[in-house]
Structure 1
């Protein structure tokens, strides 16, 4: 056997440890898609929420990224990330389980749903930051892009089947009971994570820096790197304006267009096929145009296709195929963008900073989302649903500028060595 063959890492398809974690995440992502459909249907059709209440509900779900996102990263870097994910799954399962219980007792109100979203969102902050930081402790460095591609592909597979089945479950069981399916998937994820093993070594307590200094180090790492700064700019602006559009989307589909929950589920499912194809195509696109250029190309794609959302209001007769096309192209380009930039971030960041790096990025790019959701609720009540979606779509066009006008076009490959990133960070 040659030295190159002997040094070749084992296929992730034969890595039982990675497969255990992956299977649990596949189930939880499937359940997440069901709840992502059930909660808006519950709010809009059963609880008759107003535009402003829908904005509050969306804001509650992501408010934690703005409120506790930064300290969460510092705390997570002091803990075993897998353990954090286990506890987060338990909290999310319990929080969601209260929805059908309150509904069965006849006590469910939009404010209860908002409270559940707040608790769920806090647990999700800790889970997501840990999730994006745990891959390097599960697989060799050379397999990080492959692992991220597999995890993203699974998410898109769940996105294909989840909303369609979620729409069917809502029609058969009603939205509150459909939430129970997600509770079961979080329990399955909890068990899978308990069975997973990682190589992470947590620094001794006496080596922990003060919290504010730890947070500052994470922020300096992100904003001291010229590539990460631009990635954060594009992602943050895109999330800001896309949240304005998507906050109003359930009202637009279910009330203005009069489509059923099943039809909304089919739109999301067909759109998710684009995400699956995007995850599968990413390695080929990267080889074709280069890793660096894939970032601005994908950003142009998802910023321009956002215009299809309000355009659908101009032609209600073809609104369904327009919404499917928008969801398909957006999912394809977002997956291409995410796989490339997340793998790049994980590759150049020291393991001890992974939690703070991801928390810093999430604070910036997700922290704008509760503000955007509140703005969408206010604009929707003031201007109406469709004008609000136009504001989101037109504003989203600006997001690509951060990576389009920058160093990425001239680069086939992004920096691979830590020393290059350190050099940028010190400037």
Structure 2
């Protein structure tokens, strides 16, 4: 049940100037932008290198993507319990340094001729593990940097930076793999992670870290107990429980779809790596628009209406892709349109859901709530990637693409049938958390 705290009013305007005057928020924003650009470039570089250079089959590509996503399932809950006790700045700085070193080592291995499938599997797992730490930490860091009534605006700014990364990252990764080499493509990711390291390292504000023991003789709860508290809090809250279920349905289907999609574009539509990267970047401009709309639409139409409508529109766009043919003059423009609509709808959902999750969660539970939702939702991506590879091998690319696109529509249906759809124009108040 909600506590007696007053509801948080949603801003009906873009990011207020006070946020941009905050030097630490600007540093977080710059670091987040660079980090996401490196991450999205890497997410394209590794699969394209496997498909175009190493001639990986559907099963191998599905396994590669699953290995990179496995840390979400294996580590998220532990990371959430850890982040709630430590400074998010320290976590983000260390993970940026780790990813830069891992990709730098991969670039060197490629130049020496050692960058085969086993090395790609190891690299994908290492980068994926470090990204789990960074993602949970940056979501928690915003709550510690801004006021609660600035959460929607702050999330809109950070998700806007992620949108810019979605625009430039895949294009950069695809172009480098096609025109230069995989080692240079990996080196570009290392460069962006290094830039993120430099920006976030400059954050000066001392964080108020909940629950960290300060007095001698006091002990924090054991990690398993802390994880259990996070799981219990999310499972007992109808809004957060729905977010988990809808996220799991979407992430499983989307991971399966992307495995098929990365095979469908070069092999069925005969598109080059550069054009594949261009098609993937179309989600970026759409996501930029979605970030801007997310600062206004929930306060005008209600958070529930925006969530259901945006999810149905964005996820439904991929249902048109199986009808495309490589000889058609509308193929590439249609792919760009699908990506744009998907990016816009998806970003509206991302920003709105994150603001709702942060608003209903007490400060001391922020890391564990984010990690629990990541574990349940994103934890389905390795299974989805494997399923996509299996479907592509057994049913063919076009049929598999249609099936996985239809599966993505489960997410808006789950939200429409839940209390999440009834959220109004104001963010809900923080909900009670179980006692420690």
Q: TM-score, normalised by structure 1?
A: 0.92
Contact 2:279 2:336 in 1 (8 A): yes
Of residues 222, 225, 228, the one that matches 1:216 is 228
> Structure 1 stretches of 5 or more lacking a match?
1-8
Aligned residue for 2:279?
A: 267
Shift of 1:71: 1.5
Aligned residue for 2:128?
A: 121
- 1:210-249 mapped onto 2 (5 Å cutoff): 210-249=222-261
Shift of 1:415: 4.8
Q: TM-score, normalised by structure 2?
A: 0.90
Matching of residue 422 in structure 1 with residue 429 in structure 2: no
Provide the alpha-carbon RMSD of the alignment: 2.0
- Structure 1 residues 270-325: Cα deviation after superposition (integer angstroms, max 9, x where no partner): 33111111111122322331122211111212232231232335985533222212
Aligned residue for 1:40?
A: 47
Contact 1:92 1:123 in 2 (8 A): yes
Contact 1:164 1:266 in 2 (8 A): yes
- 1:46-65 mapped onto 2 (5 Å cutoff): 46-65=53-72
In 1, distance between residues paired with 2:316 and 2:22? 39
Shift of 1:94: 1.4
* Stretch deviating more after TM superposition (268-277 or 407-416): 407-416
Number of residues paired by the alignment? Answer: 415
Aligned residue for 1:254?
A: 266
- Residue 417 of structure 1: SS of its match in structure 2? coil
Matching of residue 404 in structure 1 with residue 416 in structure 2: yes
- 1:4-83 mapped onto 2 (5 Å cutoff): 11-83=18-90
Shift of 1:156: 1.1
Aligned residue for 1:149?
A: 156
Aligned residue for 2:288?
A: 276
Matching of residue 110 in structure 1 with residue 117 in structure 2: yes
Contact 2:234 2:240 in 1 (8 A): yes
Shift of 1:68: 1.5
Aligned residue for 1:198?
A: 205
In 1, distance between residues paired with 2:347 and 2:193? 23
In 2, distance between residues paired with 1:149 and 1:405? 26
Aligned residue for 1:4?
A: none
Change (3 A) 1:314 1:46: closer
Of residues 53, 76, 92, the one that matches 1:85 is 92
* Stretch deviating more after TM superposition (150-159 or 32-41): 32-41
Which is richer in helix? 1
In 1, distance between residues paired with 2:232 and 2:365? 11
Aligned residue for 1:98?
A: 105
Contact 1:42 1:176 in 2 (8 A): no
> Structure 2 stretches of 5 or more lacking a match?
1-15
Contact 2:315 2:345 in 1 (8 A): no
Change (3 A) 1:409 1:363: closer
Change (3 A) 1:199 1:136: farther
Change (3 A) 1:172 1:314: closer
In 2, distance between residues paired with 1:23 and 1:415? 27
Of residues 382, 388, 395, the one that matches 1:370 is 382
